[in-house]
Structure 1
Amino acid sequence: MGARLAVVSGGGTGIGAAVAGGLAADGFDVLVVGRREEVVAEAAARLSAGCGRADAVRPVVADLADPDQVARVVAAVGDRPVDAVVNNAGGYLGGDTGTLAGTAAHWRANLDANVLTAVLLTEALRPALRRPGGRVILVSSIAAQRGGGGAYSAAKAALHGWAYDLATQLGPEQVTVNVVSPGYVADTEFFGDRMTPEGHAKRVAATLVGRAGTPDDIAAAVRYLAGPDAGYVTGQVLGVNGGSVLGR
Structure 2
Amino acid sequence: MPRTVLVTGGTSGIGRAIAARFAADRADVLITGRRPGTVGEAAAELGVRGVACDATDPGQVAALAAEVTALDVLVNAAGGLPAPAPDGVPPLEAVLAQWHDSLAQNLLGAVLTTASVRDRLAPGGSVISIGSIGAERRGGSYGAAKAALAAWSAALSGELGPHGITSNVISAGYVAGTGFFRGGMTDARHDALVEETHNKRPGAVEDIAETAYFLASPGARHLTGQTVHVNGGAFTTR
After TM superposition, the score normalised by the length of structure 1 is 0.92
Indicate if the aligned counterparts of 1:185 and 1:212 stay in contact, CA closer than 8 A. Answer: yes
2:174 counterpart of 1:175: no
Give, in angstroms, the shift of residue 75 of structure 1: 2.1
Amino acid corresponding to residue 155 of structure 2 in structure 1:
D
2:28 counterpart of 1:4: no
2:49 counterpart of 1:58: yes
Deviations 1:196-236 (A, max 9, x none): 11111111111111111110010000000112221111001
Indicate if the aligned counterparts of 1:13 and 1:39 stay in contact, CA closer than 8 A. Answer: no
Amino acid corresponding to residue 112 of structure 1 in structure 2:
A
Give, in angstroms, the shift of residue 73 of structure 1: 1.5
Aligned length: 235
Give, in angstroms, the shift of residue 116 of structure 1: 0.7
Partner of 2:124: 133
Q: Whole-Å Cα distance in 2 between the matches of residues 149 and 243 of structure 1?
A: 18
Indicate if the aligned counterparts of 1:93 and 1:152 stay in contact, CA closer than 8 A. Answer: yes
SS state at 2:212 partner: helix
SS state at 1:83 partner: strand
After TM superposition, the score normalised by the length of structure 2 is 0.96
SS state at 2:146 partner: helix
Indicate if the aligned counterparts of 1:183 and 1:241 stay in contact, CA closer than 8 A. Answer: yes
Partner of 2:115: 123
Partner of 1:32: 31
2:139 counterpart of 1:149: yes
2:84 counterpart of 1:95: yes
Structure 2 counterparts to residues 218-237 of structure 1, below 5 A = 218-237=208-227
2:131 counterpart of 1:114: no
Percentage of identical aligned residues: 46
Structure 2 counterparts to residues 206-217 of structure 1, below 5 A = 206-217=196-207
Q: 1:85 aligns with which of 63, 70, 74?
A: 74
Give, in angstroms, the shift of residue 166 of structure 1: 0.4
Indicate if the aligned counterparts of 1:60 and 1:72 stay in contact, CA closer than 8 A. Answer: no
Give, in angstroms, the shift of residue 38 of structure 1: 1.8
The runs of at least 4 consecutive aligned structure 1 residues that moved more than 6 Å come to: none
SS state at 2:199 partner: coil
Q: CA RMSD in A?
A: 1.2
Indicate if the aligned counterparts of 1:6 and 1:23 stay in contact, CA closer than 8 A. Answer: yes
Give, in angstroms, the shift of residue 119 of structure 1: 0.3
Deviations 1:170-217 (A, max 9, x none): 111111000000000011110011111111111111111111111001
Give, in angstroms, the shift of residue 43 of structure 1: 1.4
Partner of 2:19: 20
Q: Whole-Å Cα distance in 1 between the matches of residues 91 and 152 of structure 2?
A: 30
Structure 2 counterparts to residues 61-76 of structure 1, below 5 A = 61-76=52-67
Partner of 1:51: none
Give, in angstroms, the shift of residue 91 of structure 1: 0.5
Which sections of structure 1, spanning at least 5 residues, go unmatched? Answer: 49-56
Deviations 1:139-169 (A, max 9, x none): 0000112x21210010000011101110011
Amino acid corresponding to residue 12 of structure 1 in structure 2:
T
